């Protein structure tokens, strides 16, 4: 029999397939479509210390084989998440991941202190946020800056810590090594790629913020390259995401070195895509005589 279980970062995942932050809310809407306990884990909507209303104007824009978004981290804030959303997420009988962002060190620290006192299983630290005290450059662009914030968070964080990397980083392998050296238990990548959409009729950018994040199948080849580069550079587990739409895509990421994966844009295109992916993964392993994903991980 095939074994889809994954032991990583001190946790047991029933399978390697997680929902990606920002594409699954907190799971409630999807729980009305299928049994979300089929997931290996659920990543929360991106959280900030305080509630955010998000960006104005158009927020989603379809592109060929992709989706652009400019949500602006709209979320209820950490305290509301803990009181209103987390109890329901824990009832889904899967690993619960809190995705936490911040615009300065203090935002991260306060959020971590609050999440420490909950039964969240894993914290995914989003270092793609602009650092307001450093002129707006994201924490995740320069390895030295990433090392500094991750090491500070690691010092106070009582939970397993997975750091989500930006594809806009200057050097992905160096960034992965810096996060590992700073004490991260795992890394996830890629986040969305900065992109531009133009409204030629009105002669302006589609989004109020000009640039937006591109995701979906069109970014998968880039994501695979970056996941492979990161997995070759570190010993900690890598969680791969970027354009996963099928079990075959999952296999590609695992062969590139991923231990876990996340499904994002696919949830918008086909809301019940995850059960299909998990089923297809098991069927592929049966068909190919693969007993454990360890047999094919990182073979590329």
Of 110, 76, 75, 81, nearest in space to 98 by CA: 81
> Which whole number is the average pLDDT over 292-297?
96
- CA 181/CA 86 separation, integer angstroms: 30
Q: What is the largest CA-CA distance in the chain?
A: 58
| Statement: residue 106 has pLDDT above 90 | yes
Would you state the pLDDT for residue 129? 72
- CA 112/CA 102 separation, integer angstroms: 11
Q: What helix, strand, coil percent values describe the chain, rounded to 5?
A: 35, 20, 40
- Match 């970027």 to its residue by tokens: 242
User: What are the pLDDT digits (tens) for 228-247?
Assistant: 999 999 999 999 999 999 99
Non-local (6+) Cβ contacts of 229 within 8 A are: 172, 173, 176
Confidence of residue 134 (pLDDT cuts 50, 70, 90): low
Task: Count CA within 13 A, CB hemisphere, residue 63.
Answer: 20
**Residue 226 three-state SS:** helix
Distances (CA, A) of 268 to 133, 197, 202, 220: 35, 20, 28, 16
> Phi and psi (nearest 5°) for 9?
55, 30
Task: Enumerate the H helices of the chain as residue ranges.
Answer: 28-31, 78-80, 86-90, 105-116, 143-156, 172-181, 220-233, 247-255, 266-269, 273-288
| Statement: residue 132 has pLDDT above 70 | no
In contact, 120 and 41? CB cutoff 8 Å: no
Would you state the pLDDT for residue 131? 60
Cis peptide before 88 (omega within 30 of 0): no
Stated pTM of the model = 0.96
Query: How many residues belong to the chain?
Result: 300
**Residue 239 three-state SS:** strand
Q: Which of 129, 157, 218, 239 is catalytic?
A: 129
Of 210, 265, 257, nearest in space to 234 by CA: 257
**Residue 297 three-state SS:** coil
Which of 3.40.50.720, 3.20.20.70, 3.60.21.10, 2.60.40.1170 is the CATH number of 6-58+73-191+216-295? Answer: 3.20.20.70
In contact, 245 and 269? CB cutoff 8 Å: yes
Of 166, 196, 203, 187, nearest in space to 63 by CA: 196
| Statement: residue 90 has pLDDT above 80 | yes
Would you state the pLDDT for residue 2? 78
**Residue 3 three-state SS:** strand
| Statement: residue 136 has pLDDT above 80 | no
| Statement: residue 124 has pLDDT above 60 | yes
Q: Give the chain's mean pLDDT.
A: 95
Assess whether 129 carries a catalytic annotation: yes
User: What are the pLDDT digits (tens) for 194-237?
Assistant: 999 999 999 999 999 999 999 999 999 999 999 999 999 999 99
CB atoms inside a 10 Å sphere around CB 192: 24
Would you state the pLDDT for residue 130? 62
| Statement: residue 190 has pLDDT above 90 | yes
| Statement: residue 146 has pLDDT above 60 | yes
Confidence of residue 138 (pLDDT cuts 50, 70, 90): confident
Would you state the pLDDT for residue 240? 98
Which helix (H) or strand (E) segment is 214 a member of?
A: strand 211-215
């Amino acid at each position: 029999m095939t074994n889809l279980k994954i032991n990583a970062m001190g946790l047991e995942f029933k399978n390697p397939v997680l929902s990606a932050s920002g594409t699954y809310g907190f799971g409630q809407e999807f729980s009305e479509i299928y049994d979300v306990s089929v997931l290996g884990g659920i990543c929360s909507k991106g959280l900030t210390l305080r509630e955010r209303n998000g960006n104005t104007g158009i927020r989603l824009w379809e592109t060929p084989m992709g989706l652009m978004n400019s949500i602006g981290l709209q979320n209820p804030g950490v305290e509301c998440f803990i009181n209103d959303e987390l109890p329901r997420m824990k009832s889904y009988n899967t690993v619960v991941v809190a995705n936490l962002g911040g615009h300065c060190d203090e935002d991260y620290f306060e959020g971590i202190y609050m999440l420490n006192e909950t039964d969240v299983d894993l914290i995914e630290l989003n270092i793609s946020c602009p650092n307001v005290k450093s002129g707006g450059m994201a924490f995740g662009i320069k390895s030295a800056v990433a090392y500094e914030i991750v090491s500070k968070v690691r010092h106070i964080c009582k939970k397993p810590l997975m750091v989500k990397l930006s594809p806009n980083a200057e050097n992905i392998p160096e960034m992965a090594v810096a996060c590992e050296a700073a004490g991260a238990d795992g890394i996830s990548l890629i986040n969305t790629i900065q992109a531009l959409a133009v409204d030629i009729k009105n002669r302006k950018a589609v989004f109020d913020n000009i640039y937006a994040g591109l995701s979906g199948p069109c970014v998968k080849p880039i994501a695979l390259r970056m996941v492979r580069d990161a997995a070759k550079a570190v010993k900690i587990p890598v969680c791969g995401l970027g354009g996963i739409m099928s079990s075959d895509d999952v296999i590609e990421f695992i062969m590139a070195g991923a231990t876990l994966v996340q499904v994002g844009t696919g949830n918008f295109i086909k809301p019940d895509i995850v059960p299909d992916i998990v089923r297809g993964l098991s069927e592929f392993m049966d068909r190919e005589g693969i007993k454990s994903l360890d047999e094919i991980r990182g073979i590329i």
